[in-house]
Amino acid sequence: MMQYRRLLIAALLVIAASSVFAQDVQEQIKKLEMERAAAIVKGDIATLEKYTADDYVLINMNGRTTGKAEMIEGFKSGSSKLTSDELSDVKVRVYGNTAVVTAKADVKGTLGGADATGTILYTRVYVKKDGRWQSVSMQQTRAAN
């Protein structure tokens, strides 16, 4: 009976620790999303490069697929320039070393030379690589009016 009680207590401690860990990761990812949005508006290429995996795939709101190099080049050249990127409804789900973000963004500016002003809904996937979270995929959809 005593051994059963110890196992139960140990299991409860593991569950509690997992819950705290997941909440901590969720907060890290939410903070990272806010930093990415600010970096896009500032044109902070170094931050975008750091938190974007080399095999990153973006499906933008206009249905165009690009990779990391093309996305970064768009911001360097000015063909992609957002003057506002306000996030809301950010939700993060964590699955081990993978996190899935869903959110809403009110943006103003251009992406790839096309007008991007409006509200978008998006899903971004992060994977923990080399000790840090990196975005591996993002899909955007224009919000219905």
- Give the pLDDT confidence of 132-141 residue by residue, as tens digits: 999 999 999 9
Give me the mean pLDDT over the 121-125 stretch.
98
Give me the mean pLDDT over the 81-90 stretch.
95
φ/ψ bin of 40: left (φ > 0), alpha (ψ from -120 to 50), beta (otherwise)? alpha
20: pLDDT strictly greater than 80: no
φ/ψ bin of 73: left (φ > 0), alpha (ψ from -120 to 50), beta (otherwise)? alpha
Which of these ranges, 14-23, 27-36, 75-84, 90-99, has the smallest mean pLDDT?
14-23
Q: What is the pLDDT of residue 97?
A: 94
Q: What is the pLDDT of residue 16?
A: 47
Q: Is 9 exposed, middle or buried (0-12, 13-18, 19+ CB in 10 A)?
A: exposed
Give me the mean pLDDT over the 74-87 stretch.
93
pLDDT tens digits, 29-40: 999 999 999 999
